[in-house]
């Protein structure tokens, strides 16, 4: 009888221990924002980079390190913008659709790039 009670106690203790798994959030969680700007719905899908004590601007996002290179804004995956209607950004026409978003950054200006290849 003692062996059965000990077995049941240990079995229950193990079950309780297994059931206590804690799911932690990802380091760079995925996020999405949709907003109506005027008559156009704009959706941004991105992964928020985990700072983890690092300096982002000028370090993770390189400034003036030789030939300017586009930075994939966000973490893990390409940030995308989806426009429900045709839009105009900085005087440039952009047709309705989904676009990959990149940035060429310097200390004095940021060049925004909307790419037709939204997976690149």
- Give residue-wise pLDDT tens across range 69-117: 787 787 788 899 999 999 999 899 999 999 999 988 877 888 889 998 8
User: Environment class of residue 92 by beta-carbon count within 10 Å: exposed (0-12), middle (13-18) or buried (19+)?
Assistant: exposed
d(CA 26, CA 42): 25
* Tens-place pLDDT, residues 10-65: 766 676 656 667 788 777 788 899 999 999 999 999 988 777 777 777 666 767 66
Say which DSSP state 38 is in: T
Report the pLDDT value the prediction gives residue 40, as an integer from 0 to 100. 95
State the pTM of this model: 0.69
Is 12 strand, coil or helix? helix
Computed on alpha carbons and rounded to an integer, the radius of gyration of the chain in Å comes to 24
- pLDDT at residue 47, as a whole number: 87
Per the prediction, the chain carries an average pLDDT of: 82
């Amino acid at each position: 009888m003692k062996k059965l009670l000990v077995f049941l106690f240990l079995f229950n203790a193990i079950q309780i221990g297994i059931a206590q798994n804690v799911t932690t959030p990802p380091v760079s969680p995925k996020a999405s924002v949709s907003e109506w700007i005027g008559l156009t719905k704009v959706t941004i899908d991105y992964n928020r980079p985990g700072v983890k004590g690092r300096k982002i601007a000028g370090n993770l996002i390189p400034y003036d390190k030789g030939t300017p290179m586009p930075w994939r804004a966000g973490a893990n995956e390409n940030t995308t913008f989806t426009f429900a209607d045709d839009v105009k950004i900085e005087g440039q026409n952009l047709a309705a659709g989904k676009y990959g978003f990149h940035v060429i950054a310097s200390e004095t200006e940021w060049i925004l790039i909307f790419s037709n290849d939204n997976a690149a």
